[in-house]
Each structure stands twice: as C-alpha cells, then as structure tokens.
Amino acid sequence: RLWGSGPSVWHKNYPVAQGNRQSPIDIVPHQALHDPSLGPVVLNYDQCTSMNITNNGHSVVVQFDDSDDRSVIQGGPLDNPYRLKQFHFHWGEKGCHGSEHTVAGNSYASELHLVHWNAVKYKTFGEAATAPDGLAVLGIFLETGDDHRWLHVITDALYMVKFKVSTTVNCFNPKCLLPSSLHYWTYLGSLTTPPLHESVIWIVLREPIIVSEKQLGKFRMLLFTGEEEDQRIRMENNFRPPQPLKGRKVRSSI
Ligand SMILES: NS(=O)(=O)c1ccco1
Ligand SMILES: [Zn+2]
C-alpha cells in the first residue's frame, strides 16, 4: 500500500467506506442461504473485444470495447445483461495472501475481478457506477499450483507495463480464465477501491483457478510508480481487507 493512502484512511475522503454495503467481505459458506431461485450465471464473451492492458498505478487492468453487447454476463442474480468493461487483479507479496474476499477466514493468493455494467438501465459506465444495481463484478480466486495455460498471455505482457503505462492486447477472451464450475455466492456490495461506490452486485465463484508461483511473481514485479519517479515502489498487497457484513445475507447457487 502506498504510504498514508491505505484502506484504513480512505474513509476520510470517502465516508462511504464505512457504509452498510462495503466490499470485500468474508464469505462463510455454511451461513450462506442456498437460494434455489438463483439460476446459473451465463457468460457470453466475444472473441475479440479486448483492447489494451494498463498499469493504472494500483492494479493492472485489461480494458474492453463496451460500445455494444458483444461481451455480457447475465442470469444468476442479474435482472439484465451487464456489459464487460474491464478485468483486473488483486494480489499480495507472497503466497497465501492477496485476495480481497475470504472464505471462512481463508484468503487466496490473488483475486480476478471482471467488471460489468448495466447498459440497459444506464447510459454510461460512470452513471451505472453510482447506481445500486449499476455494476456486476465476477470474482474469481487464484490459487498457486501448476502454470495456467492461458494466463501467460496476460503475464507475458506485464513487463511492458512495469511502470504506469498501457499496451495493446487484442482478441483475449477472458472466458479462458474461468474455473470448470460456475457455482457462486452473491451479495450486494461496493467497489473495493476508491470511490467505493455501493453499486456492485457481487458474484464470487467458489472454485479457484490454478496459476503458478512464477506467473503470480510477474504481477509482483509491477510498480505503483511511473518510470520518471526515483522511488521504485513494487505493486503488491493491492487488496482491501474484508468489511463488516452489517446484516447482509449472502446467497449461494450451490
Ligand atoms: N475492485 S473492484 O472490482 O471493486 C473495482 C472496480 C473499479 C474500481 O474498483
Ligand atoms: Zn477489484
């Protein structure tokens, strides 16, 4: 975390940080309500809507062309299709810490977020990002083990965005980053980085994907800082800790 700008001080500039539907949370599987009315999550991702990969100073983000409904998520807890805007990762400086959501108090090495917005009800991502049903983020845990055969497309591009810059990535379909089971937990929450808007319907997959320590290591060599800055601050621990549930119910499709 950058000096003096970590999650513990965000509430000074973003009072919503202490709101009633903040994310991430600790998911306790046995306390989740199995809701049989929750259908499967359906992902229709087009082959070639990815555009670029950017180091934005607090994560590495792959942006998509969201000018039409080519890549959408629907079903599950969602009343409309939500358009894929970007995906990014959160990770730690070593093995078992780095995810944002935890499961029964256990954290994973990293967490992938696929950020979608409700283009049926709202005209722009910015407008959707401030609406209670504006965003849907699919969370996928990353666990260390064997090499992930497709993640290398992203990790091999990371050296090009070591500093805060951007480079093109085309025809990367994030469907290749999904685990085999789409069983999920869902709850109403927020963005996990400022401005922390309480506008996210969270869908967190139970099954992690497996990536190698070597692939994760390439995230850790990214820098928060730009090339011109003399301080070389490694980008690691860019995860917010779990927030109070404040009476919310977590439902499970399982
Ligand atoms: N980490 S996240 O997916 O809640 C997010 C998206 C944009 C800002 O924060
Ligand atoms: Zn995120």
Closest C-alpha to ligand 1, atom 6: 191
Q: For 105, list phi and psi in degrees, rounded to 5.
A: 85, -5
Helix (H) or strand (E) holding 12: helix 10-13
pLDDT mean over 86-111 = 95
Mean pLDDT of the chain: 93
CA of 40 to the centre of ligand 2 (A): 22
Interface ipTM > 0.95: yes
- Atom from ligand 1 closest to the CA of residue 23: 4
**For ligand 1, is residue 63 a contact (CB within 6 Å)?**
no
Q: What pLDDT sits at residue 3?
A: 43
Which residue, 194, 228, 138, 230, is CA-closest to 11? 194
- Sequence letter at residue 103: V
Strands 72-75 and 251-252: unpaired
Q: How many residues does the chain have?
A: 254
Residue 38's SS3 state is coil
Q: What pLDDT sits at residue 1?
A: 47
Spatial contact of 250 and 101, defined as CB atoms under 8 Å apart: no
**pTM of model > 0.80:** yes
**For ligand 1, is residue 191 a contact (CB within 6 Å)?**
yes
Q: Which of 30, 34, 58, 88 is catalytic?
A: 58
**Cis amide bond preceding 195, omega within 30:** yes
- Cα 251 to Cα 176: distance, rounded to the nearest angstrom: 26
CA of 87 to the centre of ligand 2 (A): 8
On the CB side of 48, how many CA atoms lie within 13 Å of its CA? Answer: 1
